[in-house]
């Protein structure tokens, strides 16, 4: 059952419904998660415009934007800068690096949204940290990642996480470490552990089925 306590805590955590917010962006006003209903959202905050690591990240996200869109996912950035700063920064990236940022950037000048989402943390001053919220088509927070100011995000990992979440939702499985390139198990997935004695017996009976590799009833790999 999904938790509905995000408003009590302020900061939404995994399994919480993402709070309804109205925001100003470089693409105009949008309502989240309503305007992306039925689609995934990858919402990521950055400490500030016109900073080197953030610039490298925005270029990296834009370079991979089509891959996110192929996964039915919307990229949305955020910082405490004004929308005019975002627009000027996007122009600079286009003119100097040759990359046209095609996703919206939320202007959170007051810090209201950043505070509400836990993107402004005491040890990092008044700027937003490098947070990533992955929100599913039902508006539920499925993953939260935090990075310090000095470390740029790994876009491959965010895409891998999105793939794993969608795989799990679609097929009712879990993914092992480093999936889909696990050093020992390759791209195979894990079946959820049985919850009853009858389920254990059924799982053990499947031990010799094609496509399954069973180390034990609670640790079974599948080719699916």
Active site residues: 54
201: left (phi over 0), alpha (psi -120 to 50) or beta: alpha
Other beta carbons within 10 angstroms of residue 29's beta carbon come to 9
C-alpha span between 12 and 19 (Å, rounded): 8
Other beta carbons within 10 angstroms of residue 176's beta carbon come to 18
* Residue 153: partners with Cβ closer than 8 Å, 6 or more residues away: 44, 57, 60, 130, 132, 145, 147
């Amino acid at each position: 059952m999904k938790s509905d306590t995000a408003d009590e805590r302020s900061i939404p955590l995994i399994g919480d419904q993402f709070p309804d917010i109205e925001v100003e962006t470089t693409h105009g006003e949008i309502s989240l998660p309503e305007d992306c209903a039925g689609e995934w959202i990858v919402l990521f905050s950055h400490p500030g415009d016109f900073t080197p690591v953030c610039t490298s990240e925005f270029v990296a996200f834009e370079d991979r934007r089509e891959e996110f869109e192929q996964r039915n996912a919307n990229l949305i950035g955020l910082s405490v800068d004004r929308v005019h700063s975002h627009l000027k920064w996007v122009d600079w990236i286009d003119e100097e690096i040759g990359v046209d940022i095609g996703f919206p950037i939320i202007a959170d000048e007051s810090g209201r949204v950043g505070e509400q989402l836990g993107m402004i943390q005491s040890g990092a001053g008044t700027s937003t940290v490098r947070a990533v919220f992955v929100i599913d088509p039902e508006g539920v927070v499925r993953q939260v990642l935090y990075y310090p100011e000095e470390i740029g995000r790994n876009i491959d990992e965010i895409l891998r996480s999105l793939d794993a979440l969608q795989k799990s939702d679609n097929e009712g499985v879990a993914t092992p470490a480093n999936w889909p390139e696990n050093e020992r198990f390759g791209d195979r997935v894990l079946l959820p552990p049985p919850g009853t004695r009858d389920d254990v017996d059924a799982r053990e009976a499947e031990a010799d089925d094609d496509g399954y590799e069973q180390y034990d009833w609670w640790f079974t790999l599948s080719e699916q």
